[in-house]
């Protein structure tokens, strides 16, 4: 076994399999800076970032973590240069075309958090196909946050809830946190136990604002294209070193 394999095995042995998070969320950040550091175009960083998606999805599934949410494209990302947006959409299509059968065979269900209506026709259809093909899988849920914004999610949920109150489907006095969860993209899913952000940035960037009230945060200094299985294991070890109180003592 090579040196990297030995280190990964060492880290894996430090992870308590009985205390793994049920839901891990990751803000995939730093593709552009990774590329700039190497005098490459930003698109090269995004392409390398897709390789990490493959690796981390596989590593998470092998550990038996049932929910993984990846922040792929925010509502604010539409403000980026058209060339970069086109590349991101192309990479999304490529990823689904290449990996969908493997994900399906591994019993992975693909969910989308976000509004698909604004996506170009081809990636929108590929995403819908992936959702349909994997809808009955139940080993692992892979959430892809696409054209997603946390504030928009909450506002849209409130609008839908108000509409249901008006027609009598929901009684105002019965509204509580559990009921409101049904109006979020993560309906029927546990809140993230762990949120990981590579790249050295320490902010949540409008991601899962309602769901991360008691989530543990781990910030990594490596860029997303460098976020390997080893880095995932380090984040899980850090998570397991903490005592979660949920507001208690």
Q: Would you say residue 88 has pLDDT above 60?
A: yes
Name the one residue in this structure whose structure tokens are 């290449």.
98
Residue-wise pLDDT tens digits, 15-36? 999 999 999 999 999 999 999 9
Instruction: Please tell me the predicted confidence (pLDDT) of residue 46.
Output: 97
Residue-wise pLDDT tens digits, 114-153? 999 999 999 999 999 999 999 999 999 999 999 999 999 9
- Note the pTM of the prediction, 2 decimals: 0.94
Q: Which active-site residues does the annotation give?
A: 29, 77
Instruction: Please tell me the predicted confidence (pLDDT) of residue 2.
Output: 52
Q: How far apart are CA 143 and CA 131, in angstroms?
A: 10
Q: Would you say residue 169 has pLDDT above 80?
A: yes
Q: Would you say residue 188 has pLDDT above 90?
A: yes
Q: Would you say residue 1 has pLDDT above 60?
A: no
The more confident residue out of 2 and 13 is 13
Q: Three-class SS string for 52-99?
A: HHHHHHHHHHHHCCCEEEEEEEEHHHHHCCHHHHHHHHHHHHHHHHHH
Average pLDDT estimate for 185-197: 98
């Amino acid at each position: 076994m090579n040196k990297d394999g030995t280190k990964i095995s060492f880290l894996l042995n430090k992870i308590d399999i009985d205390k793994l998070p049920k839901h891990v969320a990751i803000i995939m950040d730093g593709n552009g800076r990774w590329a700039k550091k190497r005098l490459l175009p930003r698109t090269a960083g995004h392409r390398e970032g897709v390789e990490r998606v493959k690796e981390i999805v596989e590593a998470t599934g092998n550990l038996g973590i049932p929910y993984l949410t990846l922040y792929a494209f925010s509502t604010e990302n539409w403000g980026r240069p058209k060339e970069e947006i086109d590349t991101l959409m192309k990479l999304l299509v490529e990823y689904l075309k290449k990996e969908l059968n493997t994900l399906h065979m591994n019993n992975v269900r693909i969910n989308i958090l976000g509004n698909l209506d604004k996506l170009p026709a081809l990636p929108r259809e590929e995403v819908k196909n992936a959702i349909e093909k994997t809808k009955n899988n139940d080993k692992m849920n892979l959430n892809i946050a696409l054209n997603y914004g946390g504030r928009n999610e909450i506002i849209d949920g409130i609008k839908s809830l108000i509409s249901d109150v008006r027609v009598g489907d929901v009684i105002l006095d019965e509204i509580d946190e559990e009921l409101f969860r049904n109006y979020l993209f993560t309906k029927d899913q546990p809140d993230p136990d762990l949120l990981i952000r590579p790249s050295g940035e320490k902010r949540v960037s409008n991601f899962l604002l309602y769901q991360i009230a008691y989530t543990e945060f781990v910030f990594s200094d490596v860029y997303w294209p460098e976020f390997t299985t080893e880095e995932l294991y380090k984040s899980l070890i850090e998570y397991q070193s903490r005592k979660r109180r949920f507001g208690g003592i």
